[in-house]
A and B are shown apart, each in its own frame.
Chain A
Amino acid sequence: MNAGMSRLLLTRLATAAGTLLFVAAAVFVTTTMLPGDVAQEILGQSATPEAVAALRHGLGLDRPPVERFLSWLGGLLVGDPGLSLVNGVPVATLIGGRLSNSLLLAAVTAAVSVPLALLLGVSSAMLRGSIYDRVVGTATIFVVSVPEFLVASLAVLVFAVKLRWLPALAQAPQGHGLLDLMRSFAMPIVTLTFVIVAQMARMTRAAVIDTLAAPYVEMARLKGAGPIRIVLTHALPNAIGPIANAVALSLSFLLGGVIIVETIFNYPGIAKLMVDGVATRDLPVVQACALIFCAGYLLLVMLADIAAILSNPRLRHR
């Protein structure tokens, strides 16, 4: 690690922090522009204007937007995104349990889908043009084209209703063993893997094929290196940048984009919380969720960039 490298990484971190601040402002502005009013929503159609105004004052909604934004931002910095407007529970409490549920599902899905995608991508790059390559290519395109609600519903129909192998609902396990975890997560994981594996596998294949065409790979072949050695020591290290970016983009889907899966399997995750928040005009919940999704996305993309920087010796050893 040298000075130039540290500066590069610090710049990257500072950019991410700046982007997050911008996103926070954008989230605040757009959510306050949402149609509807929470006080009206709580009190119902028959409430008197005075009652609505009193509740608005009580909730702090009559303060100027800039003041509300700054106090919200200050709260976020100390980990307090405020109280739910609907039931007065701290947003942190509402999100806390659900976020860990979502992260657990995302982590297990990533642990299954990333190695699977890399394996499929690298192997089909090595066997480019073979039957295997074509089958993998067609199959990944097929599974990503099928809508996920269809996959999820079919899975429930077959494995839960007909065969009764797996529970129809996915619950975050409490104190159960790994087997129970796998049982209750099997269907959501398969559904999500279907969605994200195709993109990662195809990008991996393209990146590896690109490096396999490089003259240094031909050189390795002419040194008598076998196919495994060629891919692992010559091609893959030079394909880390694009692969990491494809993985990051796919995984970022696992936080905010899983609403259908959470709904079908009735899984208490954060995406569902946000949708419920929008329905009830519960702005602090919506804002906090949106910010978490954005932060997760930024974190993944930043990690991918750092991986790309670290894997490039031109940047590592100047």
Chain B
Amino acid sequence: MTTPSPTLNAPLSKAPLAPTRFADAAPLVEVANLKVVARGEDGREFPIVKDVSFSVKRGEVVALIGESGSGKTTIALSVMGYARSGCRIAGGRVRLGDCEVTALSESGLADLRGRRVAYIAQSAAAAFNPSRTIMAQVIESALIHKTATKAEAEVKARALFTALALPDPDGVGDRYPHQVSGGQLQRLLAAMALITDPELVIFDEPTTALDVTTQIEVLKAFKAVVRDRDTTGLYVSHDLAVVAQVADRIVVLRDGAIREVGATGQIIEAPRDDYTRSLIAAAEPQPRAAAPLRETPAPLLEVTNLSAGYGGLNADGMPHFPILDAVGFRIQRGSTLGVIGESGCGKSTLARVVAGLMPAARGAVTLDGRPLPPTIAGRSREDLRRIQIVFQMADTALNPAHSVSKALSRPLTFYHGLTGAVLDRRVFELLDLVKLPRGLADRKPGELSGGQKQRINLARALAAEPDLILCDEVTSALDTVVAAAVLDLLVELRRDLGVSYMFISHDLKTVRAICDDIMVLYAGRKVQAGSREAMAEPPSHPYADLLTASVPEMRMGWLEGAGAHASNFIDPADKTKGGKLFSRSGCAFYPRCPLGIAGTCDRERPPLRVTPQGSEIACHRSDADLMSLTAR
């Protein structure tokens, strides 16, 4: 289907389809009829990239976009003449400038890699060798290809560290990878790629593993160096909103084939392919119709003044390494609470404490007005049944040796004593409930897709007929289209079964789409909480404001606008991760806060107050002060 919908015609006719900036430039990269095959477990080869052709002009950034299994990384790697273990470039050709990459010998390829084409991997933490210093690894390509002496390369590396806005550009090279934060490592990986002034840089999902507030910093740094050096880029991502900020053209891939190629503006504003449209729709989740709240006198779950952490207890009863600090909230029967915050903020720990997997140091968890014992060992079978948990990694949560029916039968027998034909019938009902075919009952997890596995996990939680399901990043490991379907299922189950959710996520868009109430955690503390409507209105806590401003929007130029706003916040570099930065007295967000009051915010713990809009905010500043920040 190639006809754009009528409403999208207007912008299409005005905007030129191809960018004029590169009209005359000769292509640097030409990929023609590329075919890559992988070898399956049975030894037979099957195609993973099917007849893909595209080109990248000098100075242009082209994005390869698609979901997992679309072949985007495989295509990018084949531009370096590289195929991962078990894969093979089976046909077509790749040309880089005057060089036929697909015809090169292994030593010819080694000559090309790191010098003419450089690669920035998705997980910098994994791409850095843990046992060598950062500097040794950043300048390694220059030494391998003899483009500079060690001293020259180190000088150049420091200049790149400065250009990438890394703190302490002179000292960071002497450190080891584990001593540096994820966002910094990702920028250091960019320095490593640029050290030899390559003609082409491949960015492979370079910000996917980062928190949104860190992602925005890294994106800005990448964009600046790419612009300043006129670097040609191939940007691999699943995130259209991110790609819209950096790419000139977009190649949309699915199942190893190209669905659509076009200028960034055209792809996001007037996509011609159905699949592109579904990608865009899934990336902008619409609020799901919420079930009307049943007014009940007492909340289903009430958590008061909850503190938890690791290590022994201090004299005042707090753990040495606190993860949660005096968190309190309520979940009404049949409603959904979204818990949001960046990695390390304690959101998963909160789920573990509520589930009884980890005892609290202080505070109480009350279910239906009855206090719950702190650990699983102390809870009755009925207590356990009423609270179920669904984890992020569907793969690891299911025993690979057990069939689906066995995984679902276990809680049915354990909690409800079902056996025989009744048990089998209930397993089928559960599969119906999560919209999976009954034929799946005999399959092992290894034969299921990621989305199917997550539905099985959900079915297993539902088997207990719980009152509350703790969903810990349940859609984070899924592709956007699959994740959207799982979200729809969650909403539907809540409507039909009246179950409540505590929905933990790092993704503000998702939380806004399905939650009635939202709680923002920062460094183990509640900084803001309220109903979805109240949370959408200013005033906001400065951190909630930063979080909102950092979520990429699917429009070109967002990064520049949001960037200006995020610049109000002090570089998030390293100051907020880990227990030791957890400021017990004073506000945890003080080091990053543009409104921080020295002498107050760093000394006194901010009080929790209720705004006129009805949300709770933990901040020393007045509503008017907070409004001025949002307006900036």
- Residues on A lying within 8 angstroms of B by beta carbon are 213-216, 218-226, 229, 233-234, 237-238, 311-314, 317
Instruction: Tell me how far the C-beta of A18 lies from the nearest C-beta in chain B, rounded to whole angstroms.
Output: 24
Instruction: Tell me how far the C-beta of B450 lies from the nearest C-beta in chain A, rounded to whole angstroms.
Output: 21
Given contacts A213-B85, A311-B131, 4 further A-B contacts (CB under 8 A): A223-B192, A224-B110, A233-B132, A313-B131
Instruction: Tell me how far the C-beta of A2 lies from the nearest C-beta in chain B, rounded to whole angstroms.
Output: 12
- A223:B113 contact, CB within 8 angstroms: yes
Instruction: Tell me how far the C-beta of B325 lies from the nearest C-beta in chain A, rounded to whole angstroms.
Output: 25
- B119:A224 contact, CB within 8 angstroms: no
| Contact residues in B for A234 (Cβ distance below 8 Å) | 129, 132
User: Which one of B80, B110, B130 contacts A313 once the chains associate, using CB atoms below 8 Å?
Assistant: B130
- B interface residue count range (under 10 / 10 to 19 / 20 to 34 / 35 or more): 20 to 34
Q: A220-B140, A225-B140 are in contact. Are A238 and B129 (CB under 8 A)?
A: yes
Q: Which DSSP category, helix, strand, loop or mixed, fits chain A's interface?
A: helix
CA of A233 to CA of B136, assembled, Å? 10
Q: A215-B121, A215-B123, A314-B178 are in contact. Are A220 and B129 (CB under 8 A)?
A: yes
- B131:A222 contact, CB within 8 angstroms: no
Instruction: Tell me how far the C-beta of A135 lies from the nearest C-beta in chain B, rounded to whole angstroms.
Output: 22
- A237:B127 contact, CB within 8 angstroms: no
Q: A219-B119, A317-B176, A317-B179 are in contact. Are A224 and B126 (CB under 8 A)?
A: no
| Contact residues in B for A225 (Cβ distance below 8 Å) | 110, 114, 140, 144
Judged by a CB distance under 8 angstroms, whether B158 is at the interface is no
Instruction: List 3 A-B pairs, minimum CB-CB distance, nearest first.
Output: A223-B114, A224-B114, A215-B126
| Contact residues in B for A223 (Cβ distance below 8 Å) | 113-114, 118-119, 140-141, 144, 192
CA of A60 to CA of B111, assembled, Å? 78
Against A, the Cβ 8 Å flags (1 = close, 0 = not) of B137-154 are 000110011000000000
Judged by a CB distance under 8 angstroms, whether B589 is at the interface is no
CB closest chain-A residue, reference B178:
A314
| Contact residues in B for A229 (Cβ distance below 8 Å) | 144
Instruction: Identify which of residues 281-311 in chain B touch chain A, using a CB-to-CB cut-off of 8 Å.
Output: none
| Contact residues in B for A214 (Cβ distance below 8 Å) | 126
CA of A218 to CA of B192, assembled, Å? 14
| Contact residues in B for A313 (Cβ distance below 8 Å) | 130-131, 176, 178
21 residue pairs of the A-B complex, CB under 8 angstroms, read A213-B85, A216-B129, A218-B84, A219-B119, A221-B82, A222-B77, A222-B119, A223-B114, A223-B192, A224-B113, A224-B114, A224-B115, A224-B141, A225-B114, A225-B140, A226-B144, A237-B129, A237-B132, A312-B130, A313-B176, A317-B179
Instruction: Identify which of residues 357-396 in chain B touch chain A, using a CB-to-CB cut-off of 8 Å.
Output: none
CB closest chain-A residue, reference B136:
A233
- A222:B113 contact, CB within 8 angstroms: yes
Judged by a CB distance under 8 angstroms, whether B161 is at the interface is no
| Contact residues in B for A233 (Cβ distance below 8 Å) | 132
CB closest chain-B residue, reference A236:
B131
CA of A213 to CA of B115, assembled, Å? 23
CA of A213 to CA of B86, assembled, Å? 12
Instruction: Identify which of residues 437-492 in chain B touch chain A, using a CB-to-CB cut-off of 8 Å.
Output: none
CA of A222 to CA of B202, assembled, Å? 11
CB closest chain-A residue, reference B175:
A317
CA of A46 to CA of B208, assembled, Å? 88
CB closest chain-B residue, reference A238:
B131
Of B85, B118, B127, which is in contact with the most chain A CB atoms at under 10 Å from its CB? B127
- A222:B80 contact, CB within 8 angstroms: yes
Instruction: Tell me how far the C-beta of A307 lies from the nearest C-beta in chain B, rounded to whole angstroms.
Output: 13
- B144:A216 contact, CB within 8 angstroms: no
Instruction: Tell me how far the C-beta of B75 lies from the nearest C-beta in chain A, rounded to whole angstroms.
Output: 15
- B127:A215 contact, CB within 8 angstroms: yes
| Contact residues in B for A219 (Cβ distance below 8 Å) | 119, 121, 127-129
CB closest chain-A residue, reference B123:
A215
| Contact residues in B for A224 (Cβ distance below 8 Å) | 110-115, 141, 144-145
Instruction: Tell me how far the C-beta of B234 lies from the nearest C-beta in chain A, rounded to whole angstroms.
Output: 13
CA of A221 to CA of B113, assembled, Å? 8
- B130:A314 contact, CB within 8 angstroms: yes
Q: A221-B82, A223-B113 are in contact. Are A237 and B131 (CB under 8 A)?
A: yes
CA of A225 to CA of B113, assembled, Å? 8
CB closest chain-B residue, reference A225:
B144
| Contact residues in B for A312 (Cβ distance below 8 Å) | 130-131
Instruction: Tell me how far the C-beta of A55 lies from the nearest C-beta in chain B, rounded to whole angstroms.
Output: 59
Q: A223-B141, A224-B141, A313-B176 are in contact. Are A216 and B128 (CB under 8 A)?
A: yes
CB closest chain-B residue, reference A212:
B85
| Contact residues in A for B119 (Cβ distance below 8 Å) | 219, 222-223
| Contact residues in B for A215 (Cβ distance below 8 Å) | 121, 123, 126-127
Instruction: Tell me how far the C-beta of B154 lies from the nearest C-beta in chain A, rounded to whole angstroms.
Output: 16
| Contact residues in B for A213 (Cβ distance below 8 Å) | 85
CA of A215 to CA of B130, assembled, Å? 11
Instruction: Tell me how far the C-beta of B270 lies from the nearest C-beta in chain A, rounded to whole angstroms.
Output: 36
CB closest chain-B residue, reference A311:
B131
CA of A90 to CA of B178, assembled, Å? 55
CA of A234 to CA of B113, assembled, Å? 17
| Contact residues in A for B144 (Cβ distance below 8 Å) | 223-226, 229
CA of A224 to CA of B178, assembled, Å? 24
| Contact residues in A for B123 (Cβ distance below 8 Å) | 215
Q: A221-B113, A223-B144, A237-B131 are in contact. Are A216 and B126 (CB under 8 A)?
A: yes
CA of A311 to CA of B140, assembled, Å? 20
User: Which one of B110, B131, B132 contacts A226 once the chains associate, using CB atoms below 8 Å?
Assistant: B110
CA of A61 to CA of B191, assembled, Å? 75
CA of A237 to CA of B131, assembled, Å? 7
CB closest chain-A residue, reference B116:
A224
CA of A214 to CA of B131, assembled, Å? 13
Instruction: Tell me how far the C-beta of B494 lies from the nearest C-beta in chain A, rounded to whole angstroms.
Output: 39
Instruction: Tell me how far the C-beta of B203 lies from the nearest C-beta in chain A, rounded to whole angstroms.
Output: 13
CA of A220 to CA of B140, assembled, Å? 9
| Contact residues in B for A238 (Cβ distance below 8 Å) | 129-131
| Contact residues in A for B178 (Cβ distance below 8 Å) | 313-314
Of A220, A221, A223, A317, which is in contact with the most chain B CB atoms at under 10 Å from its CB? A223
CA of A77 to CA of B175, assembled, Å? 45
| Contact residues in B for A216 (Cβ distance below 8 Å) | 126-130
CA of A313 to CA of B174, assembled, Å? 12
| Contact residues in A for B84 (Cβ distance below 8 Å) | 218
CA of A222 to CA of B73, assembled, Å? 13
CA of A238 to CA of B130, assembled, Å? 8
CB closest chain-A residue, reference B204:
A222
User: Which one of A222, A237, A314 contacts B82 once the chains associate, using CB atoms below 8 Å?
Assistant: A222
CA of A240 to CA of B127, assembled, Å? 19
CA of A62 to CA of B115, assembled, Å? 81
CA of A215 to CA of B177, assembled, Å? 14
| Contact residues in A for B111 (Cβ distance below 8 Å) | 224
CB closest chain-A residue, reference B144:
A224
| Contact residues in A for B118 (Cβ distance below 8 Å) | 222-223
Instruction: Tell me how far the C-beta of A16 lies from the nearest C-beta in chain B, rounded to whole angstroms.
Output: 25
CA of A215 to CA of B119, assembled, Å? 12
Against A, the Cβ 8 Å flags (1 = close, 0 = not) of B543-575 are 000000000000000000000000000000000
Instruction: Tell me how far the C-beta of B51 lies from the nearest C-beta in chain A, rounded to whole angstroms.
Output: 25
Instruction: Tell me how far the C-beta of B477 lies from the nearest C-beta in chain A, rounded to whole angstroms.
Output: 18
CA of A312 to CA of B128, assembled, Å? 14
CA of A9 to CA of B209, assembled, Å? 35
CA of A295 to CA of B126, assembled, Å? 39
CB closest chain-A residue, reference B176:
A313
CA of A94 to CA of B428, assembled, Å? 78
CA of A281 to CA of B397, assembled, Å? 59
| Contact residues in A for B126 (Cβ distance below 8 Å) | 214-216
| Contact residues in A for B141 (Cβ distance below 8 Å) | 223-224
CA of A169 to CA of B239, assembled, Å? 74
Against A, the Cβ 8 Å flags (1 = close, 0 = not) of B594-606 are 0000000000000
CA of A220 to CA of B144, assembled, Å? 10
CB closest chain-A residue, reference B84:
A218
| Contact residues in B for A222 (Cβ distance below 8 Å) | 77, 80, 82, 113-114, 118-119
CA of A226 to CA of B131, assembled, Å? 19
CA of A237 to CA of B137, assembled, Å? 14
CB closest chain-B residue, reference A229:
B144
CA of A214 to CA of B125, assembled, Å? 11
